[in-house]
Amino acid sequence: MSPPQSERRHLLGEELPALRQWLTDNRQERYRADQLADWIYRQAAESFEQMSNLSKGLRAWLAEHADIYRARAAAESVAQDGTRKLLLACGDGETVETVWIPEVARHTACLSSQVGCPVGCRFCASGLEGVRRNLSAGEIVEQALHVQRLIAAHADPSQERPARLSNIVLMGMGEPLANYEAVMQAVRILNASWGLGIGARKITLSTVGLPKQIRRLAGEGLQLNLALSLHAPEQKLREELVPWGKVPLKELLDACHHYFEQTGREVTLEYVLLEGINMEARHAAELARIARRLRCNVNLLRYNPVPGLPFGRPSGEAAYAFQRELRSHGVNAHLRTSRGQDIEAACGQLRRRKADPAEGPVAESPPNSPTAESSPEPE
């Protein structure tokens, strides 16, 4: 009889050196780990049976002692623009959301890092119920591979080169820097040549800002893109909107500046536009001052209301006026459109609706959503 899941390896969270160690500890040849990594990460194999260059005996041993995938797709929705959202049920029954954003030149996966979110932004569906637990590295990598399999399943067979996942945004449910170890292990697997081989510059980590962790990230030697979900350029307002925003803004911005200096990678500011809340001329002036200091771009996102929450979506005209104001201060500001608006593409909404169908469809977009990687609104 196979050992219980708690004693079995979840292979998708394993780095190559650990796989080698595990196999040699179990009297298997070291190079088998390289073959195994190729099967699970590059070829997205679903079963050990597919691993034709491994002996039957090794395949049977692996099937007894390890799992490749532990999550299954519990729901899937497709937007008119082709964006697909998956609700994945983990081994313990918890659910997380993952989004595939197909575009002409790239395929992006928006991954979750926690079940729920501890930050509790006042305007966000994911923040409403708090955090239930961290995801493991394997559960994060697994999301990317579920998207890779979707891409392969929908690939145009006439294309010479098979379509592959090219970009990752850690902008789904959760605060990635609050689950630092697992997120970094997942990033190393996503980035490694023996893993999914996605360049660090194509991986974006979005955070509400934990200064210590940002400084730690700067020292990792990776060139990840960092997106700071700012949403308010003043301390008091930020604390009201983002409960974890109680850290002094100066300390947070110093950490972002340090990140830029250490890595050479620009930090992007994400700013959700909330009608009548954070769109005054003085907010634009202060936001511009911050952006100039960090020498960074600003992504503006028009909020879409979540039922039950007291925030409104600004008109397009008001959003453009805010963008113009920022530009008049010399800041590069983009107004982003939301991808997949008709499928509850913002984090937390499909999960909430699945848990409580009576809630009905909701329309969307807190900042840590795939919208951050979406196209500029036509001007």
Using CB under 6 A as the criterion, which residues of the chain lie in contact with ligand SF4 when the complex forms? 117, 119-121, 124, 126-127, 173, 175, 208, 347, 366-368
| Cα separation, 126 vs 136, whole angstroms | 19
Nearer to ligand SF4, 127 or 211 (CB): 127
Which among 139, 344, 347, 373 is annotated as catalytic? 347
CB of 306 to ligand SF4, least distance (A): 10
| Cα separation, 260 vs 27, whole angstroms | 46
Nearer to ligand SF4, 311 or 322 (CB): 311
Residue pair 272/303 in contact by the 8 Å Cβ criterion = yes
| CB-nearest residue to ligand SF4 | 127
Phi, psi of 218 (to 5 degrees): -60, -25
Catalytic-residue membership of 347: yes
Place of tokens 């960090």: 294
Spatial strand order of the sheet with 95-102 comes to 72-78, 84-89, 95-102, 107-110, 167-170, 203-207, 225-229, 267-273, 298-302, 333-336
Nearer to ligand SF4, 33 or 88 (CB): 88
CB of 124 to ligand SF4, least distance (A): 3
Nearer to ligand SF4, 127 or 370 (CB): 127
CB of 141 to ligand SF4, least distance (A): 20
Strands 225-229 and 203-207: parallel
Nearer to ligand SF4, 119 or 230 (CB): 119
CB of 374 to ligand SF4, least distance (A): 16
Angle at 216 between CA 210 and CA 218, to 5 degrees: 105
- Determine the straight-line distance between the first and last CA of the chain, rounded to whole angstroms: 62
CB of 336 to ligand SF4, least distance (A): 15
Which among 97, 139, 175, 344 is annotated as catalytic? 97
CA separation, residue 212 to residues 164, 219, 251, 254, 256 (Å): 34, 11, 9, 11, 10
DSSP letter at 373 equals G
Angle at 139 between CA 136 and CA 142, to 5 degrees: 145
Q: Which residues are catalytic?
A: 97, 347
